[in-house]
Copies of this chain bind each other. A is one copy, B any other.
Amino acid sequence: MDKENTKRTTEQLILEAARTVFIRKGLEGARMQEIANEAGINKALLHYYFRSKEKLFNHIFEKALAGMFDVINESIHKEGDVFAFIETFVDHYLSTLKENPFIPNFIFNEINSHPERIHQFSDKARLNFPGYKQMVEKNIKQNKIIAISPEHLLIDMLGMCVFPVLGRPIIEKVFFEDHPAGAENFLYERKQHIISFLKKALQP
């Protein structure tokens, strides 16, 4: 019992530390030593628990990918109103990004370096695309929104939310060089901007 408890605690410590370091630095950039330091344990223990850097990485990556899909999935209600979906989704997604601003870069970078990984995890990290599509098409039929490709609409939303987080250092430099507080405010404003922008674009 005691052993079990200790094990869980250490494993959890490692996973949290690994998450912090991997998401910030990626698979190549992360150092096992840094993860060990972050967890307050020894480097050898990482291998004792997870065998190799890559196996440890896989745990983190899978959870991160699944988490991003979940934000979308949780906003979907098959029979619901698209505008309600948009408001919920944009709100939750931007909040998640605010708390985890490096996850998108992490995911895109690893996915583009090793596209085959997406198959590896596709059972555990899944987007409820059929549910989403059904919702959009129903709203089109009911004349609540213009005819639009659900695929393109989803990419529009995601792009508008993700870009400012991915490109934050550039945005700070280009838009707000003289007033650094502006960038924070800009990200805050985006929630309302995206919602009203999408509403305008979709209105029949």
By a beta-carbon cutoff of 8 Å, the part of chain A in contact with chain B is 25-26, 28-29, 102, 105, 108-109, 111-113, 115, 118-119, 122, 127, 129, 146, 149, 151-152, 155-156, 158-164, 166-171, 173-175, 186, 189-190, 193-194, 197-198, 200-201
A26 to B28: give the CA distance in the assembly, Å. 10
**Copies of this chain, count:** 2
- B193 near A152 with CB under 8 A, answer yes
- Of the candidates B26, B111, B159, the one whose C-beta lies within 8 Å of that of A169 is B111
Q: What residue in chain B is nearest A173 (Cβ atoms)? A: B118
- Of the candidates B115, B151, B163, the one whose C-beta lies within 8 Å of that of A155 is B163
A112 to B163: give the CA distance in the assembly, Å. 12
- Of the candidates B28, B171, B174, the one whose C-beta lies within 8 Å of that of A29 is B28
Give the chain B neighbours of A109 by CB distance below 8 A: 26, 105, 108-109
Q: What residue in chain B is nearest A197 (Cβ atoms)? A: B201
Give the chain B neighbours of A102 by CB distance below 8 A: 112
- A129 near B175 with CB under 8 A, answer yes
Residue with the highest number of chain B CB atoms closer than 10 Å, among A105, A112, A127, A155: A112
- A155 near B164 with CB under 8 A, answer yes
Q: What residue in chain B is nearest A201 (Cβ atoms)? A: B201
> Can you report 10 residue pairs joining A to B where beta carbons are below 8 Å apart?
A28-B28, A119-B173, A127-B174, A151-B175, A151-B186, A152-B190, A155-B160, A155-B167, A156-B160, A166-B166
